[in-house]
Amino acid sequence: MNPLIRIATRKSPLALWQAEYVRAQLLDHHPNLAVELVSISTRGDDTIDTSLRKIGGKGLFVKELEAALLDYHADVAVHSLKDMPMILPQGLVLGAICKRADPSDALVSNSFRSLNEMPAGSIIGSSSLRRKCQILAYHPSLVVKDLRGNVNTRLTKLDNGDYDALILASAGLERLKMNHRISDRISSKIVLPAAGQGAVAIESRADDPSTESFLRALHHHDTFRCVTAERSLVRILDGGCHSPVAAFAEHDAITHTIHLRALVGSSDGKKLLSDTLSGPMETPERIGEELAESMLSA
């Protein structure tokens, strides 16, 4: 009998794409595996008429999947890394981080090709305080209104005229073959991405070395180092402030260094603090911690 790996996943189209991607990668590297998907409803998906901030934050997209792991109903859980809390439950680990896709945010509009084209009073839909604060800092005359739901739900509201534009992750649109909906990939100089944006994470149990051995082939070391720097920064800043945080690290293969950029802002975009730090790729966690401590002191 072939070894079996059960993948816990949310039911949204993007989550299912990610789970199918991981299944295909596992089977490509381990043809004798049997891989099954275990679809699970999460509170974050079921409660779309309330701001995430009011009902518990991003962790609402992963708690039920993590419970399935801890209860041995699944062997791994697949997530968008940017949706994962910075501290994992006891007994769970990040078994693999897949190679990062485009980390940028995208402007999606039926009328405008860039933020610069949008006139004062134009309404942008986004549920992210990080995006809101940076958009308003760049273009203060825009209006950013809360918007929840999966990608298709949000696009329907745009097409119905409820919003003039949306801000969505470029990687998610690419994975759903919706590249044609992207009006502009927003420069990270205007909107710095969320920690882990564009990366698919595979969570597993710490006491399951067999599954971990299968996941090794899917692990991308350069992506892992970059997102480790980002997540260590956010972990510290989350504990010391309650403002929107952005973090993006890039790996320089020539100098073997990581260059980390970070931003903290007020939700209205009127106050922004940004800073950078570079360091050896062998110590990504320390780079994030040092930059976070420097920003907290500022």
Question: What residue type is 195 in one-letter code?
Answer: A
pLDDT at site 50: 53
pLDDT at site 58: 59
pLDDT at site 96: 98
Positions in the chain short of pLDDT 50: 51, 55
Gap between the Cα atoms of 233 and 243, Å rounded? 13
Is 0.85 topped by the overall pTM? yes
Give the residue numbers annotated as catalytic, written as ranges: 83
Other Cβ atoms less than 10 A from the Cβ of 41: the count is 10
pLDDT at site 44: 56
**φ, ψ of residue 35 in degrees (nearest 5):** -130, 125
pLDDT at site 217: 97
